[in-house]
C-alpha cells in the first residue's frame, strides 16, 4: 500500500451515480491502512474555487455560454492544483478528487463546438500537466441516476429554502445527461489504462470492493 503514496485518484460520473459516497469510503479505507489522504471536490476546495462553484451551479445563470462554463471549471482547478493538490502529492499523500477534467470532457464537450482537444489543451495549462493516475468512472443508466438526485444547491446555507433546488447542471434534460454518460464511457474506451468503469448499479459494498481492487492495482 505504501506505493499508493503520491497517487492522484479521481472519482467521476453522472449525477446520482454515488461517486461521492464511494470517495468517502475509499478515504476511510486508505486512512485505516495508514495512508495520509487529501479529499477535494471539483469545482471548489479553495476559497476562490468555492466562489467559482457558486457561479457555475447557480440556476439563475441561464445565459452562461459553454466556453465560459468550461473556462470557469478550469480556473477553479488551477487554483486547487497550486493550493491543494500539488503540495499534497509532494508530501506523499493520496489525493482523492470528486470530479476533475474528465467531467468537463463529459459535460462541456460539443457545447458551442468545443472539442476534446481544446478542452485537454486548456486542462494541461490549468493543472500544470499533472493528470490523474487513475480515474474511476461510475456508470449508471440515466433514468436510474436521475431518480437518485436530491436537490442540494444553495448559495446561502441559512436560507430556509436551502437544499430545495436542483443546480444549473442537474436541471438539464435527460437527453443531455445521456450524452454525458456516453462521453464518460468514450474516455474510458480511449484510455483504459488510466480509466476504469465501475458498475454503479451494484450494491454499495460490491461497488466499494471493486473500487479497492482498482486502486490497489495501482500499487
Summarize pLDDT for 143-152 with one digit per residue, the tens. 886 766 555 4
Residues 6+ apart with CB under 8 A from 79: 46, 48, 49
Residue 188 and residue 195 in contact, taking contact as beta carbons nearer than 8 Å: yes
DSSP state of 198: E
Does the structure show a pLDDT above 60 at 153? Answer: no
What pLDDT score does 59 carry? 84
Does the structure show a pLDDT above 90 at 176? Answer: no
Computed over every residue of the chain, the mean pLDDT equals 90
Each domain of the chain, given as residue ranges in start order, spans 2-216
Q: Would you say the C-alpha torsion 137, 97, 52, 74 has a positive or negative sign?
A: negative
Does the structure show a pLDDT above 80 at 154? Answer: no
Please give the residue that has the higher pLDDT: either 12 or 171: 12
- What span, in angstroms and rounded, lies between the C-alpha atoms of 138 and 185? 10
Does the structure show a pLDDT above 60 at 213? Answer: yes
Does the structure show a pLDDT above 80 at 58? Answer: yes
What pLDDT score does 16 carry? 85
Comparing CA positions, the residue from 5, 114, 33 lying closest to residue 69 is 114
Residue 73 and residue 122 in contact, taking contact as beta carbons nearer than 8 Å: no
Q: Report residue 60's pLDDT band, with 50, 70 and 90 as the boundaries.
A: confident
What pLDDT score does 216 carry? 96
Looking at the whole model, is its pTM more than 0.85? yes
The mean per-residue pLDDT over the stretch 196-206 comes to 97
Q: Which helix (H) or strand (E) holds 125?
A: helix 116-126
- Classified as helix, coil or strand, 143 is helix
Residue 94 and residue 5 in contact, taking contact as beta carbons nearer than 8 Å: yes
Does the structure show a pLDDT above 60 at 158? Answer: no
What pLDDT score does 156 carry? 46
How many C-beta atoms surround the C-beta of residue 26 within 10 A? 22
What pLDDT score does 155 carry? 47
| CATH number given to 2-216 | 3.40.50.300
Give phi and psi for 150, each to the nearest 5: -120, 135
Summarize pLDDT for 92-149 with one digit per residue, the tens. 999 999 999 999 999 999 888 999 999 999 999 999 999 999 999 999 998 886 766 5
Amino acid at each position: 500500500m505504501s506505493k499508493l503514496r503520491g497517487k492522484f485518484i479521481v472519482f467521476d460520473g453522472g449525477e446520482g451515480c454515488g461517486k461521492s459516497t464511494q470517495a468517502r469510503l475509499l478515504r476511510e479505507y486508505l486512512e485505516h491502512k495508514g495512508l495520509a489522504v487529501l479529499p477535494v471536490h471539483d469545482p471548489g476546495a479553495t476559497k476562490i474555487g468555492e466562489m467559482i462553484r457558486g457561479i457555475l451551479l447557480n440556476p439563475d445563470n441561464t445565459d452562461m455560454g459553454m466556453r465560459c462554463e468550461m473556462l470557469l471549471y478550469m480556473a477553479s482547478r488551477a487554483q486547487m492544483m497550486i493550493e491543494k493538490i500539488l503540495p499534497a502529492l509532494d508530501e506523499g499523500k493520496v489525493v482523492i478528487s470528486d470530479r476533475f477534467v474528465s467531467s468537463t470532457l463529459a459535460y462541456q464537450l460539443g457545447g458551442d463546438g468545443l472539442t476534446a482537444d481544446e478542452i485537454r489543451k486548456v486542462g494541461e495549462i490549468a493543472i500544470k500537466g499533472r493528470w490523474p493516475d487513475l480515474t474511476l468512472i461510475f456508470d449508471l443508466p440515466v433514468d436510474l441516476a436521475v431518480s437518485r438526485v436530491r436537490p442540494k444547491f444553495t448559495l446561502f446555507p441559512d436560507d430556509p429554502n436551502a437544499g430545495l433546488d436542483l443546480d444549473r447542471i442537474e436541471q438539464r434534460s435527460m437527453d443531455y445527461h445521456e450524452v454525458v454518460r456516453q462521453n464518460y464511457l468514450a474516455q474510458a474506451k480511449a484510455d483504459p489504462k488510466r480509466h476504469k468503469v465501475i458498475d454503479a448499479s451494484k450494491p454499495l459494498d460490491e461497488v466499494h470492493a471493486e473500487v479497492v481492487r482498482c486502486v490497489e492495482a495501482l500499487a
